[in-house]
């Protein structure tokens, strides 16, 4: 009987040894893989969750040269690499552990995967490269460690990655601090390609700004969201490259503006002509009706009419704007007593264009109707608009002004 116990002991020992019982690294398809599906904090928009995840990815891996390789706000995917350091002995030897990070953000939840682990031993006087750690983990699980340091290495891998997952979960589930204001930007992907390019650049610009200046920046291509219920939680509405499509949407916008909402319109958002048939908007817009344009898009010298307005206070008295298709208006909005023109196309640009030419005229390019919380900017054609640091300051100050001026609560 004693002999049988001894046999059983030696058979079971590899399975219950202290080293193996304390370390469990999750596996998927034969490799170490940590994956979680987590419900995010309630009342956080998909855009805000994406910004939180992106912020976490950028700040969590100081040893990574470029922790984020892909950040696609359309699909909600963030991909990159993480690197952390594990000290395995008192002699100063340590390992750098590199791994892939993949996050997908959806409405109300996110999925995170950390996998493809590589190790790089750092030992005095020895140069090593990264190699897959899976082989060594396989041997370790079979009770065949390569070195006495393996238990420290694998246990600390679990500690580090579990800690990162916990930190991300805390970031994604913590209640949002009250933002300064909320912005809804509407755009369309089926319009002129240059207008789509502008919208995509604007979304990237304002998302980055929102994270820095503490406001919510939501986007949608669904213009049906332009309704009383959809607008009531936003202090600012932006039309990036289109305008309301039907009477219901028009009436909702009118109601929003009459009740203290704020509007920022770019380029084609202000387009109206004899076929538009929206008298309220023409009055709101200062009576300006589209008259002509230049072609092809060209840079232009702009005169800043008012350097004291909150939207233009950081601008010089004149500057060269980026490539744009410039619209002329007839009548000029300057003729309306309620309109405050902030920036004007410098007449020194004339004749402006090659195929379609603007030869003369008073052409405001940025203005506000003082009866409303609104601002129109003629910039918005193509992928060069955000290439000017000077002009970007205008885009930033405009949103801050409208967000703090809005009377919507």
Asked if 197 and 346 sit in the same domain, the reply is yes
Q: DSSP character for 326?
A: P
- Residue 92 placed within a domain: yes
pLDDT band at 65 (very low <50, low <70, confident <90, very high): low
The tokens describing 142, both together, are: 């079979």
Closest CA to 257 of 359, 385, 392, 405: 405
Q: What is the pLDDT of residue 194?
A: 97
Asked if 310 and 252 sit in the same domain, the reply is yes
Q: What are the strands, taking DSSP E only, across 149-297?
A: 182-186, 216-220, 236-239, 262-266, 290-293
Asked if 371 and 244 sit in the same domain, the reply is yes
Q: What is the pLDDT of residue 12?
A: 32
Q: DSSP character for 358?
A: B
User: Which CATH number characterizes residue 252's domain?
Assistant: 3.40.50.880
Name the percent of the chain lying above pLDDT 70. Answer: 93
- Residue 84 placed within a domain: yes
User: Which CATH number characterizes residue 144's domain?
Assistant: 3.30.530.80
- Asked whether the predicted pLDDT for residue 107 surpasses 80, the reply is yes
Q: What is the pLDDT of residue 149?
A: 85
Over the stretch 167-213, which tens digit does the pLDDT of each residue have? 999 989 887 667 889 999 999 999 999 999 999 999 999 998 998 88
Over the stretch 298-346, which tens digit does the pLDDT of each residue have? 999 999 999 999 999 999 999 999 999 999 999 999 999 999 999 999 9
The residue among 128, 146, 173 that closes a domain is 173
- Residue 78 placed within a domain: yes
Asked if 159 and 197 sit in the same domain, the reply is no
Over the stretch 128-163, which tens digit does the pLDDT of each residue have? 889 999 888 888 888 888 888 888 999 999 999 999
- Asked whether the predicted pLDDT for residue 49 surpasses 80, the reply is yes
Expressed as residue numbers, the domain containing 161 is 21-173
- Cα 348 to Cα 213, 355, 358, 369: the distances in Å are 37, 19, 11, 26
Asked if 149 and 229 sit in the same domain, the reply is no
- Asked whether the predicted pLDDT for residue 19 surpasses 70, the reply is no
Q: What is the mean pLDDT of residues 278-289?
A: 97
Asked if 363 and 277 sit in the same domain, the reply is yes
Domain count for the chain: 2
Over the stretch 188-201, which tens digit does the pLDDT of each residue have? 999 999 999 999 99
- Asked whether the predicted pLDDT for residue 16 surpasses 50, the reply is no
Q: What is the pLDDT of residue 144?
A: 87
């Amino acid at each position: 009987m004693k002999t049988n116990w001894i046999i059983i002991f030696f058979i079971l020992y590899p399975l219950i040894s202290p080293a193996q019982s304390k370390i469990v690294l999750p596996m998927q398809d034969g490799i170490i893989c940590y994956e979680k599906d987590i419900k995010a904090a309630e009342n956080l928009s998909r855009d805000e969750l994406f910004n939180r995840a992106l912020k976490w990815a950028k700040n969590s891996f100081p040893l990574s040269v470029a922790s984020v390789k892909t950040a696609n706000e359309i699909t909600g995917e963030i991909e990159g690499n993480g690197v952390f350091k594990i000290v395995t002995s008192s002699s100063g030897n340590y390992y750098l552990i590199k791994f892939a990070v993949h996050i997908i953000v959806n409405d109300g939840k996110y999925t995170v995967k950390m996998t493809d682990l590589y190790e790089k031993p750092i030992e005095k006087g020895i140069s090593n490269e990264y190699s897959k750690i899976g082989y060594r983990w396989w041997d370790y699980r079979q009770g065949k460690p390569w070195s006495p340091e393996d238990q420290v290495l694998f246990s600390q891998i679990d500690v580090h990655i579990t800690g990162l997952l916990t930190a991300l979960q805390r970031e994604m589930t913590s209640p949002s601090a009250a933002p300064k204001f909320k912005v809804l930007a509407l755009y369309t992907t089926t319009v002129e390609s240059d207008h789509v390019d502008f919208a995509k650049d604007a979304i990237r610009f304002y998302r980055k700004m929102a994270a820095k200046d503490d406001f919510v920046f939501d986007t949608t291509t669904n213009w049906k969201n332009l309704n009383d219920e959809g607008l009531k939680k936003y202090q600012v509405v932006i039309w990036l490259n289109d305008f309301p499509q039907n009477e219901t949407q028009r009436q909702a916008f009118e109601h929003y503006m009459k009740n203290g909402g704020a509007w920022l319109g770019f380029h084609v958002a202000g387009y109206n002509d004899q076929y538009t048939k929206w008298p309220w908007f023409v009055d709101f817009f200062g009576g300006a009706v589209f008259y002509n344009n230049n072609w092809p898009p060209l840079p232009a010298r702009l005169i800043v009419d008012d350097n004291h307005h909150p939207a233009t206070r950081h601008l010089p008295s004149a500057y060269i704007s980026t490539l744009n298709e410039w619209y002329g208006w007839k009548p000029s909005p300057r003729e309306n007593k309620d309109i405050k023109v902030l920036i004007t196309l410098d007449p020194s640009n004339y004749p402006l264009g090659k195929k379609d030419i603007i030869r003369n005229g008073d052409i405001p390019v940025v203005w506000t109707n003082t009866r409303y919380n609104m601002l129109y900017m003629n910039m918005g054609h193509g992928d060069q608009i955000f290439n000017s640091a000077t002009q970007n300051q205008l885009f930033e100050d405009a949103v801050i002004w409208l967000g703090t001026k809005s009377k919507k609560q």
